[in-house]
Structure formats: C-alpha cells, structure tokens
Amino acid sequence: MTSQYEDVSPKVDCSVSFDKPNLSGKTAVVTGGAAGIGEQYTRAIVSCGGKVVVADIDEANASSLQADLGNTGDVVFVKCDVREWKDQVEAFRAALKLGNGKIDIVINNAGIGSPDDIFAGPDDESLDEPQEPAMNVMRINALGALMTAKLATFYFRKQAAQDEKAGVKSDYNLIIQASICGYLPFLKVPQYAFSKWGQRSLLWGYRHSERKYGVRTNMISPWYIPSGIVVPEFVEHLNNVGAGTASVTDAADALLRILGDSNMNGRSLAIMPRTWEGAPYGCIDLDVDQYQEGSFLSRCVDVGLFAVWDDSKRE
C-alpha cells in the first residue's frame, strides 16, 4: 500500500548550513510584508534576486522599505486588508503584472496578536450575559489566511496546467506562517492559538492536494520574536528564565532554506533561539505533523478514507 506520507519529504537537518537560492525571475506575494517578520521575508527574497508584492495596510513602512531597497521596482506595495477579498485579489493581480503573468511564491504571513477578551474581557460581573467578544484576530489570522490560500492555489493550478502544456516542470511555493503557539498550550490567547493551530490544517491538507500541481507547501512556526505582538514584559520574562527569544533574520533564513530545497514539502520549521540545542541556525524541524505508523489515525488514512481524489473525474 502506498504510504500516506509519499508527498511529505524527510525531516530537515537544520543543524547544517545551506546555499541561498537564486530567485531571479521569481515573483512573490507576501501578506503583511511591510514590517516585522514579513519585512524580513521581503528583504530576503529581494536579496536573492526576486520580486515582491507587499500586501499590507502599513503604507508608511512599505514606502520606507521600498526606499531602503533602492526603489528599483522590485518591491510593489498594494494596500491590502487581508480581511477583504477584493483587497487580496488586487494584490495577486499586481503580482501577476510584476511577474509577467506568473506568481511563484505566496507567503501567508499577515497576522496580529492582541488581548483576547474571549478569555478575559471587559465584562461587568453585574451583567446577566457576557458581551460579544471582539474577533479581529480570527478574521485576520484565520479567515484572511484562508483567502490567501484560496488565491494562491487558484493561480498555482492555472500555471501548472500551462506548464504541462509547455513541457515545463512546475515549482511553486506556498509558505504558511504559523507559530509555536500552534503546538503548545497557550492559555490566555484562545483566538491566536486557534488561528495558528488552524494553519497546521492547511499544511496537512495542501501538502498532499497541491503537490500534483507542482506546489510545495511548508510552514514556518516562530518561537517568541520581539515584535509588536510580544509585549516587552514577556520578552524580559523569557530572558530571565533562560528561554530567550528568536530572531527575525533566522526566520528569513528559514524561508530561504525552504525556497532553495526543491524537494522540501510538508515540513514545519520552528524558529528558535540559537542557544537551544539543535538550533545553531535558529531553526528546528518540529517533525510532529504526521501520525505514528500503525496508529488508529494512520490506519484511517491508509485505507483511503481521506484520499485526495482527482477533481477531473468528479461527476
């Protein structure tokens, strides 16, 4: 019987160095690409010769980033609220124009973190019922990410069909931005945790369903990185207990590691402090996104219960 993991590549040895890829002629969409980790992704792609559409709401940071990279036209800003379908469509249209009709890389990065009133809101104990919680984290981190994934697969599949007719091998990349929060219990941020656990479901499904279209689906799952999402007091706590924080530049290097390995598919790379064992480059393959062979869940998949079917044969 064919293994359920035939599309998933072996565990990545992140303790060894890697050669940065040549991305000349490649075009990427980076949601939330104007600041934070997304900005480093943008810089990394451009440094390797690629072009980027930055889909973000932060026009000021995007303009500064473009200027810092020389205003060469390799970075195009599209004001994009990822909660809005029409905004995301415009970003992908811009990428098609920038890439002469082709998109090679989509990085599903946009996300926020904020105090979560599902866990502890401003409710008055004198009220008979709780107030409706704000759901912005879910709308951006989950629903926005789903729309990005929809657009990515739509264009990747169209391009794969064109490649097949031309006798060209497809190699497209969908990079999902998750978090270590999608693997460990985080008690006071249920929306954020929910959204990041949900990103794993995209990895589990897309690494199989999209592989036949020449799409490699991988995930980057950062530990705490000093940013607008992580409050300074918690950064201080992490340092005090010896856990430390991870680096945005190591996250960008993990991206380049993925893009440069044409065999890597279905992996989740955690971005960790370099002080942690096994992370000399600030990166570890978590290697937990698969069932144990012979387990009940493994058998459910092996019998074909959730097999990826050929859409062309559906009635």
Give tens-digit pLDDT for 270-291: 999 999 999 999 999 999 998 8
Task: Quote the pLDDT of residue 150.
Answer: 98
DSSP 10-34: PPP-TTS--PPP--TT-EEEEETTT
Query: What dotted CATH number matches 27-313?
Result: 3.40.50.720
Query: What is the rounded CA–CA span in Å between residue 200 and residue 266?
Result: 10
Distance CA 253, CA 270 (A): 12
pLDDT of residue 118: 78
Write out pLDDT tens, residues 24-37.
999 999 999 999 99
Residue type, 88: Q
User: Residue 194 and residue 141: Cα distance in Å, rounded?
Assistant: 9
pLDDT over 50 (residue 1): no
Q: How far is CA 1 from CA 4, 200, 296, 298, 301, in A?
A: 9, 26, 16, 13, 11
- Is the per-residue pLDDT at 315 higher than 90? no
- Residue 140: both structure tokens together: 């951006």
pLDDT, position 311: 55
Task: Return the residue matching tokens 């657009």.
Answer: 151
87-122 pLDDT, tens digit each: 999 999 999 999 999 999 999 999 998 778 777 666
Q: Give the residue extent of every domain in the chain.
A: 27-313
> In the structure encoding, which two tokens stand for residue 171, read together?
């190699």
Q: Phi/psi of residue 48, each to 5°?
A: -100, 10
Residue by residue, DSSP assigns 31-50 as ETTTSHHHHHHHHHHHHTT-
Q: Which residues contact 64 (CB under 8 A, 6 or more apart)?
A: none
Q: How many CB atoms lie within 10 A of CB 289?
A: 18
CB 261 within 8 A of CB 10: no
Helix or strand run (H / E) with residue 221: strand 215-222
Rounded CA-CA distance 12/269 in Å is: 8
Report the range of poorest mean pLDDT among 46-50, 193-197, 206-210, 303-307: 303-307
pLDDT higher for 290 or 180? 180
Q: Which residues pair with 30 in a beta bridge?
A: 54, 107
Which tokens is 23 given?
């991305």
- 66 by DSSP, 3-state: which? helix
